[in-house]
Structure 1
Amino acid sequence: MGASEFSLVQAVVLLGAATIAVPLFRRLGLGSVLGYLAAGLAVGPFGFGLINNPETLLHTAELGVVMFLFIIGLEMRPSKLWTLRRQIFGLGAAQVVTCGTLLTLAAMAAGVSFPVAAVGAMGFVLSSTAVIMQLLKEQGDTSSPEGQRSISILLFEDLAIVPLLALVALWGSLASPIGANNESVWQAAAIAVAGFAALLMAGHWLLDPFFKIIARSGAREVLTAAALLVVLGSAVFMESVGLSMAMGAFVAGVLLAESNFRHQLEADIEPFRGILLGLFFLSVGMSLNLQIVADEWRMVLGGVVTFMLVKALGIYAIARLTGSAHSTAMSRTVLFAQGGEFAFVLYAAAMAAGIFDLRASAIMSAIVILSMALTPILLIAQAQMRKRAPVAIDLDGVDKAEGLRGQVLVIGFGRFAQVASQALLARRVEISVIENDVKMIRAAANFGFKIHYGDGTRLDVLRASGAETAEVILVCVDDPEAADHIVELCQAEFPMTTLYVRSFDRGHSLRLINAGVGFQIRETFESALVFGQAVLTELGFDEDQARGAIEEVRERDKERLELELIGGLEGGRKMIRGNTETPEPAPLFKTRSNSADIGT
């Protein structure tokens, strides 16, 4: 199927391959990125040969990366981006320069000339924005502090492509007069800066009024078209002045982050982003030249291993030097230890400038693609190793639970226990508190609470915490299974001590009542009743009516619990539906269903 035959048939092939491979790989725990790469490899010219023009498809699919960066920009308000400036130009620059230097030296040690080694190394330094952002999104880490640091590094790498392309052009034209070289480089830099400034000004003064005019038309499809116009127009403009399309889309997103149309734009762009980003990974998989890998397998595999190890060493060193913990540094190392899509741009420029020949470009491209494919696998392996490795807890400055004595023992000091304990402390009741979250213990210490480290699910810890002599034990952990285990231990070993237990939901309450716990309360039940009472008074019901309604709900819930204890859950369901002989109080308002709280 030739390049001229790209049609609905190829679209069906791509969609079919993705539909089969991605769910399968996600089910196997390998992630969607690897699924797309494998699907692309299978249908591409070096697989079954169903599609023979991956380069054309790759250029189209880069729009997925562009739209991804636009959506990320929408989430990064200018003020937030300003707070990341040190991470972008400090952490990002340190990682790029350090890793680029190390990789260049490694390539030169293998006998590669300096220009080829430097271009190959710097191409590999520019990690894959598409892979990293997709993995961060799947892990839910895009808004975490480490996720923000990762985004900062990626932003700097996007900026770095500009001077790198200028450097490639300079090396490629060494035979020309030096003055002409300098003039062309400075001219390109001036155009890039002027274009960037023009986009900032246009975005600041024109974008919001533009969308207001479009919104007045009332045509939803026109607003979608306008959103696509802004994203693609910014990307094309940035590319025309020598910057990356992704950078243009990101800047447009940041400029619209405080717009009234932010959420609408995000909803309009998201479907296109998802499809095109998947298409990008498919095209990268199709671009892997298996013939080159087979013919030059020693060079390719050696390059993959060497480049990933050397880059990983540089990333880890920078992360540790900038204050990251070992686990955080390792996570960033695995995430960034691959090459990325900007390498293809840089290598194509190197070929055009005469620095790379066809063989060097194919080998380096294969190294980059294989490293991108390995990243999800390495992340999975790291997660498995982290689960198996014993967790070393830093207890520096934290006291363990030993020899405690108190009238009340509190197990777990989350939000629930913090509120519950205040009344006890106000009446000077002697309490002991144990918690197994070291961060929580240190945070509580800042507010004057003395919390001891201890795992309440262990009998020896309970004894050391004074459970034998305590009059009351408050089980306030947020894990229902852990709470059940603590209750079982306390009832077996300290039967004379009264238990008060925080319950997770109705099912957990039933288990605790069946276990003989004297007092249990669902963590959100009473606060939800107070919330409902406040809403009723706001709607015009007087205090007595609102209070009466809440008491009816409380009594009805009590009856349901008793019935479920006697007749099982099915009996409780029948009562809720009104199919039992026990009458229910008439609701204040007619609703579609009165069983909404069945699992609360």
Structure 2
Amino acid sequence: MHYFREALILLAGAVIAAPLAKRLGLGTVLGYLFVGILLGPMLRIVIGGGEILNFAELGVVLLLFIIGLELKPSRLLSMSREIFGLGLAQVVVTGLVLMGPILLLKLTSFNAAIIIAFGLALSSTAFALQILEERGERNTAAGQRAFSILLFQDLAIVPLLAIIPLLTPFSAEGNTNPLLDFGIAIAAIVALFIAGRYILNPIFQLIATSGAREAMIAAALLVVLGSANLMQFAGLSMAMGAFLAGVLLAESSYRHELEADIEPFRGILLALFFMAVGLSLNLDVVVENWLMIAIAVPVIMIIKSLLIYILCRLFGSSHNAAIRIAGLLPQSGEFGFVIFTAAATAGIFSSDTGSLLIAIVTVTMALTPFTTMLAERLQTASEHEELEENFENAGSDVLMIGFSRFGQIVSQTLLAGGTDVTIIDHSADQIRSASKFGFNIYFGDGARKDVLLAAGVKRAKVVAVCTHGRATTDRIVNLIQAEFPETRLLVRAYDRAHTLSLRDRGVDYEIRETLESSFVFSRKTLEMLGMDEEIADEIVSDTRRRDEDRLKVQAIEGFYAGNDMLHTRPVTPEPLIKPKRAAERIDLKDSEAEAAEAKNQ
């Protein structure tokens, strides 16, 4: 009953914190963290934050599984330079630099300094990825590089945990065999690879044919937790095991269903994780060592930010991308809790030092949303942001180029009709915004042949060019007509002159971007002035016919032809539909009727 009450309190806290923090512009992460601090260390309503944190770390595990599902092995291989180049440089350089002040001030022993410095060099995977997800920045250049750094940091947890027994004063009494441990780790990875390659797909296929929805959800959870526990047994991190399982299933036909099944559990457990971080904060340690924390936190975050910015620039990132990454990863991460707890248990440093380090990590995590806001202010407005051109799973019956307001409405209609649409756009802000709403949209310049080929132009039955500027639209139309002449083109025209130009080039269909909305607007205006709806429709239809007739004249005689078809003054109301037969005189009808009656008599 005690756990049930605490669960209700935490759920209520999550329900209140998420929308409130979102409305204040702080992000849900900080909201969950503050609720945890309020309910735990401050009001003492919920206790046992450490136990909850151990369970809630499953949220990080599920998060990395879903990320793995989105990364095919081929794409992961293409990121190897970022992971093992930039990621390795960040961990090694940051760890060595942080060791400097620790040893210089003689705060602890050399062995302890190694664990502390490299533990603090790791950032929070949970915090960073949640912020990237909320802002729709996972596929930006900054987001991809940040993910590469985080991925290597998750790998780095393995050797850091492995050297703890070697650094402990009691290491001579240990019974572990490093070669045996390494062999077990390799065997576990091989076993996971074999299972993902040859066993899991047939199992999912069998469950899918049975129609048991709950069994599929159970199987998804079994895969994630089973792979995580296998890696933990082998001495690796649970998060890394879940990530590898996700990567191995990335090409599975059940990938999307697995992601849908896991997503609800991931969301609630990740929220619980952030609240548990707040719950586990030891305020007594914070109060007693407030001066040290006040100095250490900004020093650590400034050092990490500067080093990350410099390394990102050295690896070719733009100023804005480097600033975004530096603002996203200056904190220490959740794996610090694991490393520092293990080191304290091994006797490398005292439990009080461990509590102090955990408090420092927690405060740096709490300040992360503010550093991301600061990073946005330090960006250069004039710099054009580039995203990664990744066209996995692209290729539909409709290829839409441009996702402006016009394109958004068109895509809604097509999707509602059951037609899949591949959308490409060259605006980073547009991609980020659309990704938040779940659109399957790709970054790319539609005026480039290689981008069109990667997006599936040869497989598309029609190409809808919905770009805004006339010059951009013309470049795309000219390219497609030259390189893919069999493609059926539907084009959004900028204005009347652009319509005539597109017709002259023989596109299959064009429409001015404001034409139909103007007709609807004018019809509604007539109705509000008291005109009958049927008459208003007839007037709009007549105007539409006149407009089309004028376009045909202009196409032959020039742009300024057909001016006599324009209404420049109010028109005297006349019947817009001709009577089906001529009017007949009633008096003649009456006289004819009398004559016929007389004849019959």
How does the TM-score come out when normalised to structure 1?
0.68
Contact 2:323 2:378 in 1 (8 A): no
The one-letter code matched in structure 2 to 1:564 is: F
Please show how residues 435-450 of structure 1 align to structure 2 within 5 Å. none
Q: d(CA) in 2 for partners of 1:24 and 1:414? A: 34
Please show how residues 443-592 of structure 1 align to structure 2 within 5 Å. 476=470, 561-562=518-519, 564-565=521-522, 568=525, 582=538
Q: d(CA) in 1 for partners of 2:316 and 2:256? A: 35
Q: d(CA) in 2 for partners of 1:91 and 1:390? A: 26
2:136 to 125, 136, 140: 140
The corresponding residue for 2:44 is: 49
> 3-state SS of the aligned residue for 1:7?
helix
1:229 to 213, 218, 222: 222
Please show how residues 170-569 of structure 1 align to structure 2 within 5 Å. 170-174=166-170, 176=172, 184-386=177-379, 391=382, 476=470, 561-562=518-519, 564-565=521-522, 568=525
The corresponding residue for 2:60 is: 65
Alignment CA distance shift 1:445-1:288 (3 Å): same
Structure 2 residue runs without a partner (length 5+): 386-400, 405-426, 428-444, 450-467, 473-491, 542-601
Q: d(CA) in 2 for partners of 1:344 and 1:525? A: 66
The corresponding residue for 1:422 is: none
Q: d(CA) in 1 for partners of 2:61 and 2:293? A: 29
**Alpha-carbon shift at residue 320 of structure 1 (Å):** 1.8
Contact 2:526 2:536 in 1 (8 A): no
The corresponding residue for 2:77 is: 82
Larger Rg: 2
1:157 to 147, 153, 156: 153
Q: d(CA) in 1 for partners of 2:146 and 2:501? A: 36
The one-letter code matched in structure 1 to 2:521 is: E
**Alpha-carbon shift at residue 571 of structure 1 (Å):** 5.3
Contact 2:305 2:327 in 1 (8 A): yes
Q: d(CA) in 1 for partners of 2:166 and 2:72? A: 36
| Cα deviation digits, residues 372-403 of structure 1 (max 9, x gap) | 111111111222344xx664799xxxxxxxxx
Q: d(CA) in 1 for partners of 2:294 and 2:209? A: 58
> 3-state SS of the aligned residue for 1:260?
coil
Q: d(CA) in 2 for partners of 1:278 and 1:101? A: 33
Q: d(CA) in 2 for partners of 1:255 and 1:393? A: 35
Please show how residues 10-25 of structure 1 align to structure 2 within 5 Å. 10-25=6-21
Contact 2:527 2:536 in 1 (8 A): no
Contact 2:157 2:237 in 1 (8 A): yes
The corresponding residue for 2:92 is: 97
| Cα deviation digits, residues 11-47 of structure 1 (max 9, x gap) | 1111111111221111111111101100111111x11
**Alpha-carbon shift at residue 239 of structure 1 (Å):** 0.7
The one-letter code matched in structure 1 to 2:225 is: L
Q: Percent identity?
A: 43
Q: d(CA) in 2 for partners of 1:523 and 1:63? A: 59
State which drifts further: 32-41 or 209-218.
209-218
Contact 1:563 1:571 in 2 (8 A): no
| Cα deviation digits, residues 302-323 of structure 1 (max 9, x gap) | 1111111222222122112212
> 3-state SS of the aligned residue for 1:237?
helix
| Cα deviation digits, residues 37-62 of structure 1 (max 9, x gap) | 00111111x11111110011001111
Alignment CA distance shift 1:104-1:444 (3 Å): same
The one-letter code matched in structure 2 to 1:96 is: V
The corresponding residue for 1:588 is: none
Alignment CA distance shift 1:31-1:140 (3 Å): same
| Cα deviation digits, residues 85-111 of structure 1 (max 9, x gap) | 121111111111000101111221222
Q: Is residue 129 from structure 1 mapped to residue 122 from structure 2 by the alignment?
A: no
The one-letter code matched in structure 2 to 1:72 is: I
> 3-state SS of the aligned residue for 2:57?
helix
Q: d(CA) in 2 for partners of 1:80 and 1:391? A: 31
The one-letter code matched in structure 2 to 1:565 is: S
> 3-state SS of the aligned residue for 1:36?
helix
Q: How many residues align?
A: 449
Q: d(CA) in 2 for partners of 1:160 and 1:227? A: 27
**Alpha-carbon shift at residue 359 of structure 1 (Å):** 1.2
| Cα deviation digits, residues 569-588 of structure 1 (max 9, x gap) | 86599998x69563999xxx
State which drifts further: 214-223 or 273-282.
214-223
RMSD: 3.8
The one-letter code matched in structure 2 to 1:27 is: R
Alignment CA distance shift 1:569-1:314 (3 Å): farther
Contact 1:319 1:329 in 2 (8 A): yes
The one-letter code matched in structure 2 to 1:53 is: G
Alignment CA distance shift 1:475-1:235 (3 Å): closer
Q: d(CA) in 2 for partners of 1:57 and 1:229? A: 21
Alignment CA distance shift 1:323-1:362 (3 Å): same
How does the TM-score come out when normalised to structure 2?
0.68
Q: d(CA) in 1 for partners of 2:532 and 2:128? A: 52
The one-letter code matched in structure 2 to 1:258 is: E
> 3-state SS of the aligned residue for 2:538?
coil
| Cα deviation digits, residues 228-285 of structure 1 (max 9, x gap) | 1001111111111111111111111111111110111111110011000000000001
Q: d(CA) in 2 for partners of 1:134 and 1:107? A: 31
**Alpha-carbon shift at residue 360 of structure 1 (Å):** 0.4
The one-letter code matched in structure 2 to 1:206 is: I
Structure 1 residue runs without a partner (length 5+): 395-412, 417-436, 438-442, 448-473, 479-500, 504-516, 532-549, 586-600
